[in-house]
Amino acid sequence: MQRYFIHLSYDGANYHGWQIQPNGNTVEETIERALTTLLRHPIDITGAGRTDTGVNASMMVAHFDADEHTVADCKQLAYRLNRMLPRDIAIHGISPVGSDMHARFSAISRTYHYYIHTTKNPFLGRYSWEVHYPLDFQLMNEAAQMLVGERDFKCFCKAGADVKTTICNVTDAHFERIDGNFAEDRGDRHLFVITANRFLRNMVRAVVGTLVDVGRGRITLDDFQRILETGSRSDAGESVPGYALFLSDIKY
Active-site residue numbers? 52
Three-point CA angle 156, 162, 166, nearest 5°: 40
| Terminal Cα-to-Cα distance of the chain (whole angstroms) | 22
The partner residues of 112 in beta bridges, in order of sequence, read 194, 247
Return the CA Rg of the chain. 19
Give buried/exposed letters for 141-165 (b at 16+ CB in 10 A, else e): bebbebbbeeeebbbbbeeeeeeee
Q: Yes or no: say if 233 and 157 are a contact pair by the CB < 8 Å rule.
A: yes
Our measurement of the distance from residue 9's CA atom to the centroid of its chain's CA atoms, rounded to an integer in Å, reads 11
Q: Yes or no: say if 95 and 5 are a contact pair by the CB < 8 Å rule.
A: yes
How many CB atoms lie under 10 A from the CB of residue 213?
20
Residue among 205, 206, 197, 144 at smallest CA distance from 175: 144
* Pairwise CA distance, residues 41 & 50, whole Å: 25
* Pairwise CA distance, residues 153 & 107, whole Å: 20
